[in-house]
Amino acid sequence: MTAGMSRARRRVRVLGTLAVAASWSVLSVGAAQPAAADTQSKQWHLGAMQAEEMWKVTTGEGIKVAVVDTGVNPSTPSLQGQVLKGVDATGAPGDETDDYEGHGTTMAELIAGTGKGGGLKGLAPGAKIIPLRIALDEFEKEKPSITIQDSANAIRAAADSDARIISMSFGGRYYSPEELESIKYAQSKGKLLFAAVGNEGHKQNERGYPAAYPQVVGVASADRDGKVSFYSQHAGTVDLASPGSDVPSWCDNSFKSYCDGDGGTSAATAIASASAALVWSLHPDWTANQVLNVLFDTAARDWKDGERSEYLGQGLIRPSMNVLKGKGDPGAPDISPLTKEKTTGPAKSSEPSSSTSASPQPAKNGAEGEKAAAVKESNSSQNGNQLGLILGVVAAVAVLGGVAYAVVRRRKAA
């Protein structure tokens, strides 16, 4: 943990179990559900967040969002024309447009989907998506040659792209020095990073990475009533809450139908990223710090300003307060509202490290120096993959032994 973060923790009292709800009615009293058929009619958050009204002011045009996930299928009706060139960091067959699970495509649609063909409508349909494919869930298990650094390499690629926002709807319980360095690099490039806190709050409720890194906005899931979803993790990593319960998604990678169910903290992260895109589109000269300051300042909460809920962080995200009412204090352009430290300074090289390591580590409310022993493996090859103006970003491929791979295999869609 940084010194600034430590000082912030002393100043801010984390609220307990009583502060777990902040009604969506605070956001928009009497907001109508959007008139759409099938899947869109189930996107309750569009009405609760006053999406139709905000779209009269901005749709997120001019903002690119990097989606680090299972890949993004650009051929769904809702994403046609919305997806730009990206990077596949897995080294596996296929590329960033080959979504092996359907998860990344769902996240992209929740951010920037046009809703054509009755598909998911994104909260920021004027934004564009840059896909970065990494290995998650079963894909990671089936491809033992994939480097455990693919997420770090993908984040660096996103940092070197034109994306202003990096959306990461995945998580794992292991700290990675390389992943943290990529996060710091992205912050030094002026990016705003969001990550899911995880969906096992009713089970282990462990800290999850990358949401636990101090430079990343950890996003919790909330339901229609503004209450934290029962499964949303709350291990000291929550900074904001966003709609996640009862958000539909693609059923699988066949892209034939959508399924009902909880989008979880994954969907919440995508919707939070789209919220930032709306605000940033309206204020293109703002820094990432200022956009986040406004999102924090205008979040709905039923507790005292300056206090932080263990479950909902600063509260329920509501970009409409800025887009429609002009509210929110952007604050200092060069001070992070997360760490309270300056974010200016020369960026480090974008070249990914050749070493790999991962270890259990206390999250953003614990000291960064308290690291457990790292698990290290050497890289055996590299797979190049360019993204527009990215120079020299390479997806390394590590050869991992069976036992070591079982230890470090950790990430999953949130």
pLDDT tens for the chain, 414 residues long, are 333 333 232 223 333 333 344 555 444 433 333 333 478 999 999 999 999 999 999 999 999 999 999 999 999 999 999 999 999 999 888 999 999 999 999 999 999 999 999 999 999 999 999 999 999 988 877 776 666 689 999 999 999 999 999 999 999 988 999 999 999 999 999 999 999 999 999 998 999 999 999 999 999 999 999 999 999 999 999 999 999 999 999 999 999 999 998 999 999 999 999 999 999 999 999 999 999 999 999 999 988 887 889 999 999 999 999 999 999 999 999 999 999 999 964 444 344 443 333 323 333 433 333 232 222 232 333 333 333 333 333 333 333 333 333 334 456 788
What does pTM read for this prediction?
0.81
Q: Helix, strand or coil for residue 248? A: coil
pLDDT at 22: 57
- Specify the CATH number of the domain 3-323: 3.40.50.200
CA–CA distance from 120 to each of 40, 117, 129, 285, 291 (Å)? 6, 9, 15, 30, 25
pLDDT at 144: 63
pLDDT at 84: 98
Residue 147 to residue 223: CA distance in whole angstroms:
36
**CB count in 10 Å sphere of residue 188:** 16
Residue 42 to residue 259: CA distance in whole angstroms:
11
pLDDT at 306: 77
Cα diameter, the chain: 59
Structure tokens at 258: 């959508």
pLDDT at 147: 66
Active site residues: 69, 103, 266
**CB count in 10 Å sphere of residue 202:** 11
8 Å CB contact between 331 and 290 = yes
